[in-house]
Amino acid sequence: MNMLLPAISGVLAMTPMPKPPYRPFIDPVQIDGYWWMFLPLMALLIALVYKAVKHANLKTYWWAVAKMTLEIVAGMVLLGVTSYLVVEVFARYIVEHAPR
C-alpha cells in the first residue's frame, strides 16, 4: 500500500490539468502590455454618454465629445506623469537626503 501512493501521485503529476473555461466579469483578460490602448476608447465612450445626458444643443454635440475625450486622455497622461515624478523622483530624493 505504501508503494501505491507515490505511483499514483507520480501519474497524476504527469497528466496536464485542463484549462478552466473563461468566465467574463470574474477572470481578468490578459492584456498586460496593451492596457494603455483602451484609454482613448474608454474616454470616448464616457464622453459620448456624459455629453448625451448633459449637452443641450446637438449642433455642437460632437465637438463637445471630442473636446471632453481629449481632456480625459490629457488628464490621465498628466496624472501618470505626476505620479511617476512623485514616486520615482521626489520620494527617492527624500529617502536619499533624509537625516540619519
In a domain, 21, yes or no: no
Are 42 and 5 a contacting pair, CB within 8 Å? no
17 domain residue, yes or no: no
User: Is the predicted pLDDT of residue 9 greater than 80, yes or no?
Assistant: no
Residue 3 lies in a domain: no
The most confident of the ranges 22-26, 34-38, 82-86 is 82-86
Range(s) of the domain holding residue 36: 30-96
Q: In this structure, is the dihedral angle defined by the CA atoms of residues 74, 29, 31 and 87, taken in order, positive or negative?
A: positive
Going by pLDDT thresholds of 50, 70 and 90, the confidence category of residue 13 is low
Q: What is the mean pLDDT of the chain?
A: 85
Which pLDDT score, from 0 to 100, does residue 84 have?
94
What's the rounded Cα separation, in Å, for the pair 81 and 88? 10
Question: The whole model's pTM is what?
Answer: 0.65
C-beta of residue 79 within 8 angstroms of C-beta of residue 43: no
Residue 75, in any domain of the structure: yes
pLDDT of residue 14: 63
**pLDDT number for residue 23:** 83
Cell numbers that stand for 55 in this block: 449637452
**How many structural domains are present in the chain?**
1
